[in-house]
């Protein structure tokens, strides 16, 4: 009976560690997305998902710090 409890506890612990690792990886992917905005704030707080030029003033878009 003690062996059964020990084995089941180890299995549950391994499953919990695996599940939390996957959640951490998903969170890391989400946080890696960068947003870009015009440094002159031509369009207010509008942001873009890709590098490029501001459509209003043609300046290079800069990474927005969150």
User: In sequence order, what are the residues at sequence separation of 6 or more whose Cβ sits closer than 8 angstroms to the Cβ of residue 63?
Assistant: 34, 35, 36
Please report, in tens digits, the pLDDT of each residue of the chain (66 residues total): 888 887 878 777 776 666 666 666 666 555 568 999 999 999 999 999 999 999 999 999 999 987
Predicted confidence at residue 63, as pLDDT, reads: 95
């Amino acid at each position: 009976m003690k062996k059964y409890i020990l084995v089941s506890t180890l299995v549950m612990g391994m499953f919990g560690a695996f599940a939390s690792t996957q959640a951490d990886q998903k969170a890391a992917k989400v946080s890696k997305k960068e947003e870009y905005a015009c440094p002159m704030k031509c369009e207010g707080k509008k942001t873009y998902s890709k590098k490029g030029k501001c459509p209003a003033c043609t300046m290079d878009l800069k990474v927005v710090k969150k």
